[in-house]
Structure 1
Amino acid sequence: MMALLDRVHTRHIAMMQRTLETLQTLIHTTPIAHLTSVTDGPDGWCALEILCHLRDFDEIFKARVHRILQETAPVFTMYNHVAMVTENEYRAQDPHTVLAALTASRHDFVALFKGLTPEQWERSGTHPENGEWTVTDAAMQVAGHDLLHIEQMTRVLAQAR
């Protein structure tokens, strides 16, 4: 069983690194005007808003993992990801600054995951909607969350070109 979990961890960490590389390519090869000109619907997000969301939630997920490692059974708070778009003025932010912050956060997050013991991977906290949330769940959620929003971003950018 441990060998299977080791493979799950390794693959999700690798996915976190690859999705960051994909985002870097998308941002560096897209004209800045295209990053804000199209959304994925009337209430949807532009590519820059998606990037800001990924940056902010990378920090949120990482903070949750730190709490799991430092506390006994922490209970997490919910974040209103829709409100964060306007409250944090995502559309007004510089995409290269946002990408640099996400890159730094992701490198720290990957290093954190790579240094964990098997026991640390099994530690957990409680998510208000999802219940028990282990460090393994965190790695899987980050990788899946990235893929979801990369698909969204590529769909938005395809409309802008």
Structure 2
Amino acid sequence: MTFQLSEVIEVLERTPKILEQYLVGLSDGWLESNEGEGTWNPSQVIGHLIDAEKYNWIPRLELILSETSDKKFPPFDRFSHLQQYHDWTIEEKITKFSSVRAENVAKLKEMIKDQNQFEMTGIHPEYGEVKVRELISTWAVHDLTHISQITRVMAKRFDVAVGPWKSYLGILNKS
């Protein structure tokens, strides 16, 4: 499959709406459930998505596309959201995520001027050299990963309650 920026943008633009429809208005039981110690609940995942929007995707893209010779990405704290947004409601988190995402998609559309930019590289602290197209593709798949995570966490609440039907519910049988 070839990389298509327009297809990535389709996912990036829809994610906030999907999460709003899925999570806003749910009881705390749904929003605060997790898979055990050290795992995130759906509300915490939204905090993580906010921080990724603020400190990960666009800042790294800006660095790659800049004139600087040092293309090393600063580290991204994947857990900073656990302190920063713990007292925010799901509505506040989704509103913030939607706002920052809209700004970032607009920036993405402005920043990419031609196909050659997709091959430009930066230096990831763990993976080494990465291309713009890989960073942007990862952004969309990151969304899909966390949508899947939220769905899985919510389903696990009823792991026992579904009784014998569990054997037919693949989401409950994956580790």
Matches within 5 A, 1:61-140: 61-72=57-68, 73-82=70-79, 84-88=80-84, 90-115=85-110, 116-118=112-114, 119-140=116-137
- Give structure 1 stretches of 5+ with no counterpart: none
2:30 matched to which residue of 1? Answer: 34
Over the aligned positions, Cα root-mean-square deviation in angstroms equals 2.1
Query: 2:49 aligned to 54, 76, 84, which one?
Result: 54
Q: Whose helix fraction is larger, Structure 1's or Structure 2's? A: 1
**C-alpha deviation, 1:71, in angstroms:** 3.7
Higher radius of gyration, 1 or 2: 2
Q: Comparing 52-61 with 115-124, which one deviates more in the overlay?
A: 115-124
Indicate the structure whose relative CO is greater, using CA pairs within 8 Å and at least 6 residues apart.
1
Query: Per the alignment, in what secondary structure is the counterpart of residue 71 of structure 2?
Result: coil
Q: Comparing 11-20 with 67-76, which one deviates more in the overlay?
A: 67-76
**Distance 1:155-1:109 versus aligned 2 partners, 3 A rule:** same
**C-alpha deviation, 1:15, in angstroms:** 1.3
- Give structure 2 stretches of 5+ with no counterpart: 159-175
- Percent identity, please: 27
Q: After the TM superposition, which parts of structure 1 deviate over 6 Å for at least 4 consecutive aligned residues?
A: none
**C-alpha deviation, 1:12, in angstroms:** 1.0
1:23 matches 2:19: yes
1:146 matches 2:143: yes
How many Å separate the matches in 1 of 2:124 and 2:60? 10
Q: Comparing 95-104 with 70-79, which one deviates more in the overlay?
A: 70-79
TM-score (norm. length: structure 1): 0.82
- Kept in 1, the 8 Å contact 2:51–2:81? The answer is no
